[in-house]
Amino acid sequence: MLFSSIPFLYYFLPLVVLIYFLVPRKLKNAVLLLSSLVFYGWGEPKYVFLMVFTIAMFYLCGLLIGRAKKQGWKKFWLTVSAVISVALLAVFKYADFFVSSFNAVTGLSVPLLRLALPIGISFYTFQSLSYTIDVYRGNVPAQKNPIAFGAYVSLFPQLIAGPIVRYADVARELEHRTHSVDDAALGLRRFLVGLAKKIILADSFALLMAQFRQSTEPSVLFYWMYAIAFMLNIYFDFSGYSDMAIGLGRIFGFHFIENFNYPYLSKSVTEFWRRWHMSLGSWFRDYIYIPMGGNRVSKARWIFNILTVWMLTGLWHGAAWNFVLWGLMFAVLLLLEKWIPALQKLPGVLRHVYVLLAVCISFVLFNAESFAQVGSDLAGMFGLSGLPLVSVQTIYCLRSYGLLFVLGVVGATPVVKRAALRVSETKLGTVLEWICMAGLLLVCTAYLVDGSFSPFLYFRF
């Protein structure tokens, strides 16, 4: 089920909120677990069994790790949880990628599995892995209550597109969380901001991208509009989803970690990845990069560590070679930034332009369906395809999307948030803020009623 859908907004969510706040405290996790399973099953009913299996497997492994006296057994059960979960990920997400790559290299025709990708499998697998690893490390005790643990793994606000909430971050709130009108109000506001980002901004940029792909009048400017539209599309789509997840969590008494911190303000790629999909970056850092030795190893090993982590980061985003290259591109840029300290001494504007250009090109690679398309997109952007600078359709789209681009660029900076905070310091400002929120709800609803299906980008991850 999509957050940005009428069934979620006007059927599922109100009912769940109502039941959640009506039942006694000890039943709240059960309500969350059951509603999360319904939420998950709405999209792909058969994969509810996979979710239940994942919950049961990680729950048992966590218990066994916690109870084991000897380190060897702890390691064994950790390995069991890791192998099974990675195997599930490999089968459901990567099997066809491996098979088609094998076929391409060998010239064989091993049949593809063609399994539908279970929604959010990458998110909940990584989330659950963080649990058994943290129990193994002794950072958190194993959760004994299967309902509470099931609610953690399947929690619908962040189930399908993050943020990747570590068990340690919500362990206390799973058992002793508080609820208040203030928290609910903050959550509601955050949710609506995220909903508007997704529906009004991200989906509009997606429409422009679709028009670009269908165009018979490409131009250099159109290629750049497409690339920038995708930068804004993916940012508002994903950060909007994170906002909605964080807002919903707040309503239910959880405090999820932030996932985005205005990444397009970054002045280095290193900084970009501290601001973009922060929960994934810190997951790879804490559970892959540092256990591999991090940077406290030989230079060659360190380079290997960086390349491995970023190749895996790319693969996490999608089972295709362009994602691997996308990850490796960032690895190279990060290494260059560390090797060439002079880069940090360049004027801020230049560094900013460098990051935006690098990220823009990386997303062209990210969003391409083939390497041929990457080549044609980049050639188009840099005027190597013999295309005109502009076309009638380009001008039309620029006219039609011009204000959206302005709103998108401004919205990707803290300007709007700062202005909203300043306005809400006064009584009138607070009233205006809530009038705006009501307006956003109605406008988003209007877009949904008028529009068609608009899937979240991060569903495929």
Catalytic annotation, residues: 317
CA neighbours within 13 Å on the CB side: how many for 251? 24
- The answer to the question of residue 400 lying near another protein (CB under 8 A) is yes
Nearer to another protein, 410 or 431 (CB): 431
Q: Among residues 19, 84, 188, 346, which is the contact residue for another protein, using CB under 8 A?
A: 188
Please report whether residue 22 would count as binding another protein according to CB under 8 A. no
Q: Is 402 in the site for another protein (CB under 8 A)?
A: yes
- Please identify which residue in 89, 404, 412, 457 interacts with another protein, judged by CB under 8 A: 404
| 113 sits near another protein (criterion: CB under 8 A) | no
Q: How far is Cα 53 from Cα 25, in angstroms, rounded to an integer? A: 26
Among the listed residues 216, 349, 372, 386, the single contact to another protein using CB under 8 A: 216
Q: Could you tell me which residues come within 8 angstroms of residue 110 by beta carbon, excluding any fewer than 6 positions away?
A: 99, 102, 103
> Is residue 138 within the footprint of another protein (CB under 8 A)?
no
Smallest separation (angstroms) from another protein to the CB of 103? 30
**388 near another protein, rule: CB under 8 A:** no
For another protein, which residue of 448, 456, 457, 461 counts as binding (CB under 8 A)? 448
Q: Interface with another protein includes 446 (CB under 8 A)?
A: yes
- Which has the closest alpha carbon to 327: 263, 259, 240, 269? 269
Contacts of 27 (CB under 8 A, 6+ apart): none
For residues 405 and 371, what is the distance between their CA atoms, to the nearest angstrom? Answer: 28
**How many CA atoms within 13 Å lie on the side-chain side of 406?**
5
User: Quick one: DSSP state of residue 8?
Assistant: I
Write out the binding residues for another protein, residues 30-69 only, by CB under 8 A. 42-46
Which helix (H) or strand (E) covers residue 31, if one does?
helix 28-43
Q: Based on the shown chain and the rule CB under 8 A, indicate whether residue 329 belongs to the binding site for another protein.
A: no
Per CB under 8 A, the segment of 129-137, 185-193, 242-250, 297-305 that binds another protein is 185-193
Task: Give yes or no for a contact between 223 and 381, defined as CB atoms under 8 angstroms apart.
Answer: yes
> Which of 130, 204, 259, 279 touches another protein by CB under 8 A?
204
Q: Which is nearer to another protein, 79 or 400 (CB)?
A: 400
- Please state the closest distance from residue 216 (CB atom) to another protein, in A: 4
- C-beta of 112: minimal distance to another protein in Å? 22
**From CA 364, how far away is CA 107, in angstroms rounded?**
29
> What angle do helix axes 220-251 and 181-196 make, rounded to 10 degrees?
160
114 contributes a contact to another protein by CB under 8 A: no
Q: What is the largest CA-CA distance in the chain?
A: 72
Cβ atoms of residues 93 and 121 within 8 Å: yes
Contact 461, 241 (CB under 8 A): no
Q: Residue 22, Cβ neighbours under 10 Å: how many?
A: 9
Please, what is the minimum distance in Å from the beta carbon of residue 45 to another protein? 5
Q: Which is nearer to another protein, 46 or 69 (CB)?
A: 46
Count residues near another protein (CB under 8 A).
56
Of 22, 105, 108, 181, which lies in the binding site for another protein, with binding defined by CB under 8 A?
A: 181
Peptide bond into 141 cis (omega under 30): no
Stretch 410-429 residues interacting with another protein (CB under 8 A): 424-427
Question: What's the closest the beta carbon of residue 221 comes to another protein, in angstroms?
Answer: 14
As measured in angstroms, the least distance from the Cβ of 188 to another protein is: 5
Q: Measured from the CB of residue 263, what is the shortest distance to another protein in angstroms? A: 24
Nearest to 97 by CA among 309, 313, 315, 329: 315
DSSP state of 117: P
Tell me which residue of 120, 323, 153, 160 sits closest to 241, measured CA to CA: 160
Residue 122 burial by Cβ neighbours in a 10 Å radius (0-12, 13-18, 19+) = buried
Q: Which one among 27, 50, 95, 437 touches another protein, defined by CB under 8 A?
A: 437
Quote the CA–CA distance of 22 and 372 in Å, as a whole number.
Answer: 56
CB of 389 to another protein, least distance (A): 16
- Chain contacts with another protein (rule: CB under 8 A): 1, 5-7, 10-11, 14, 42-46, 181-182, 184-185, 188-189, 200, 204, 214-217, 392-393, 395-396, 399-404, 407, 424-427, 430-431, 433-434, 437-438, 441-443, 445-451, 453
